[in-house]
Chain A
Amino acid sequence: MVEEGLERHKPLIDREICMLAGLAFLLPFVLPYKSLPAEILIYALGAVSFNILLGYTGMLSFGQGALFGMGAYTTGLLLIHLGWHPLATLVCASLSGAITALVVGLFSIQRIGLYFVMLTLAFNQLVFFIAYQLKGLTGGDDGLLDVPRPNLSIFPGLQIPLQTNLQFFLFIWIVFIGCIIVIRRILCSPFGRVLVAIKENPERAVAVGYNIQYYKLTAFIISGLFTGLAGGLYALFMKMVPITAVELVTSTDFIIMSLLGGLGSLYGPIIGAVVVKIASEILSEIWARWLLVLGLTFIVFMLFMKEGIWGLITAALEKLKVNLSGKVEKS
C-alpha cells in the first residue's frame, strides 16, 4: 500500500468486515444489559452516517437528529396507521431521511464554516418544533406511543420473530453489517475519494474540475439515507418514538460518539457508540450526574487525543507490530 502510494483494492467482504461482524455479534453475549446491544448498533449506524459528513467531507452537521427523527416517525406512523411490512417501513424511513437531508443539505451547503453549522442546527430545531407542535400526529412531548413490532413475514408461512432481545438484535446486526459494507464501499469509491479531497482542500477540488456542490449534496443524501434507516430501526427497537429522537441531543450524541471514537476512519464512530452507550448504562446506575464524567472524558480526548479511541488502538497495534518484528529479528 505505502510502496506505491495508493490504497489497494478492497473486496466488498474481507477480513476487516468479518472481524467487525464477529465482534459486533459478541455484544449480546458479553454485555449484561439485555436490550443494549441492539441500541448500540443503531447508534453506531447513526454515528457512521454522521461521520460521512464530518470525518470524510469536513462538514460538521448538527442536523442529524432531524434525519434520525424523520426516519423514526416514518416507520412508527406507517406501522401504527397502515400496518405495513416492517421492511417496507424501513425503506420509507431511509427515503424520508434522504429527502430531509436533501432539503437541509441544499440550503446548508450554500455556506461554509460557521454559517453552515448554524444552518444545520437551525434545520434541526425547525424539524423538532414541527414534530413538537403536531401533537395529533407525533404525540408531541409524550412521544409517538404504541409502535408495534410485528414479525417479519418473508414468505407466506415463514415468519421471522423479532420479539425477544436476541431475535431483535440479530435482525439489527444483519442490517448493520449490510449497511457498513455498503458505506465502506461508497467511501472507497471514486466518489468517496472526492469527498476526502473536498475535506482536504475544497478550492483545489474545484480547480481540478469537480463540482463540489454536487458531491456535498450527495454526501448529505447518503448520510440521510442511513441515518433515516437508523431512526426507523430505533422506532422498532423502542416500540415508540420519543421526542428526543428528533431533538438536538440526538445530533450531539452522534457528534460526541464520532469525535470520541475518532473521525479518521470508518470504525472510530462505531467504537465511540459502543463506549458511550455502555458507559452511560453503567454510570447512570451509579451516579445521576454521570454526564459530567462523559463531558470530562470528552474534553480530555479533544485536548490530548484528537485521533480518538480508534487512534489509540491503531497506535497501540503499530507499536505491538514493531515490537514483535523487533523480537523476531533478534531471535
Chain B
Amino acid sequence: MILRTVGLTKHFGGLTAVNKVDLSVEEGTIHSIIGPNGAGKTTLFNMLTGEIPVSDGEIYFQGKKITGLKPHQIAKAGIGRSFQQNRLFNNLTVLENVRLAVHAHHKGHFSLLRHFRAFSRPVEKAREILEELGIAGIAAKKAGELPHGQQRILEVALALAADPVLLLLDEPTSGMSPDDSVKMIRLLKELGKRLTILIIEHNMNLVMSISSVITVLHQGEIIASGSPSEIENNEEVNRAYLGEHTRC
C-alpha cells in the first residue's frame, strides 16, 4: 500500500466536506476517485497534497505519516500533482517550465552565483520527460500560448518532474476535446506501467477504461470501492452517482 488515509476529515465551518475517509491506494494501480459535484473529491485531494490542513485523521505515504507537511515537502517526498485548472509558468517556454520543476529536486536549485545552464542534469531530465509525453516538438513554445490540450499534457509533465512514485491528477481531461482525451488516456495507461496514479475524474469513459480500482465518494464519504465492473453493478453507486449522471 503506497497511500493510506485513516479517518480523514475536513470541516468548513459547519459543513463536513470530507467525513472519516479511509482510502487505500495499492502500489502500481491506477486508482480513480469519482463522485457527483460537491462530493468532496477536490477537498480530499487538497488535503493529500497539503494545500489545505486536515481537520482530523491521518495520511500515510509509503508507511510514513505525511499529515501536516507543507505542499513543497510532500512534493519532495515523491508525490507529484497536476491541477484541475492549468497552473503553468505561462511566459516561460515549455522546456523551462519542466526544467524548473525538475531542478527543484536536483542539486544547486538554491545556487546564486552559477548560471543555471551550468547544471545540465535538470535540462536533460526535462527533455526526457517531454520526449516521454510526446511534446518535445513544442519545447521552445511559451506555455501560455499552447492550445488547451497541450497545456493539460504539460500539467502532467510538471507533475512528473519530481520523479514521483505517486501521481495525483485532478481531472486530467477537463476541458479537453474528445480527440485530445483519447491521447491523454493512452498517455496515462503508459505512465500507469511505471507509476501509481490517483485520479479525480468526471469523464466516465476515462475512468472505466483505465482504472484498476475505483472509489466512489458521496457527500464526503466513501460509499463503494472496487474494480470498474463491481462499481458499475453497485446499486448504491448507481443511485448516488451514475443514475444522476445518466439523467443529465
Whole-angstrom CA separation of A205 from B89 in the bound complex? 9
Inter-chain contact B111/A191, CB cutoff 8 Å = yes
Whole-angstrom CA separation of A306 from B181 in the bound complex? 38
Whole-angstrom CA separation of A9 from B71 in the bound complex? 31
* Interface residues in B22-76 (C-beta closer than 8 Å to A): 49, 70-72, 75-76
Q: What 1/0 mask marks residues of chain A from 1 to 33 whose CB sits below 8 Å from any chain B CB?
A: 011111111100000000000000000000000
Inter-chain contact B90/A201, CB cutoff 8 Å = yes
* One of A95-103, A169-177, A182-190, A294-302 at the interface: A182-190
Which of B83, B114, B117, B139 is close to A5, meaning CB atoms less than 8 Å apart? B139
Whole-angstrom CA separation of A190 from B93 in the bound complex? 15
Inter-chain contact B117/A6, CB cutoff 8 Å = yes
Inter-chain contact A186/B96, CB cutoff 8 Å = no
Inter-chain contact B87/A201, CB cutoff 8 Å = yes
A5 contact set on B, CB distance < 8 A = 93-96, 139-141
B99 contact set on A, CB distance < 8 A = 6
Asked if B167 is at the interface (CB within 8 A of a chain A CB), the reply is no
Contacts A189-B112, A191-B109 given: A9-B158 contact, CB under 8 Å? no
Whole-angstrom CA separation of A182 from B123 in the bound complex? 24
Inter-chain contact A210/B140, CB cutoff 8 Å = no
Inter-chain contact A200/B162, CB cutoff 8 Å = no
Inter-chain contact A190/B111, CB cutoff 8 Å = yes
Q: What does DSSP make chain B's interface, helix, strand, loop or mixed?
A: loop
Which of B70, B81, B88, B116 is close to A192, meaning CB atoms less than 8 Å apart? B116
A319 shortest CB reach to chain B, Å = 21
Contacts A6-B123, A9-B118, A201-B88 given: A207-B113 contact, CB under 8 Å? no
Query: Closest 5 CB pairs between A and B?
Result: A5-B140, A209-B104, A5-B95, A209-B75, A208-B101
Interface residues of A (CB under 8 A from B): 2-10, 182, 185-186, 188-194, 196-197, 200-201, 203-212, 214, 218, 222
Known: A6-B93, A210-B104. 17 other contacts (CB 8 A): A4-B139, A5-B94, A5-B140, A7-B96, A9-B117, A185-B114, A190-B119, A192-B112, A192-B116, A193-B96, A203-B83, A207-B87, A208-B104, A209-B101, A209-B104, A210-B109, A211-B72
13 contacts between A and B (CB under 8 A): A5-B94, A7-B116, A8-B117, A9-B117, A185-B113, A186-B112, A190-B108, A190-B109, A191-B111, A200-B91, A201-B89, A208-B162, A209-B72
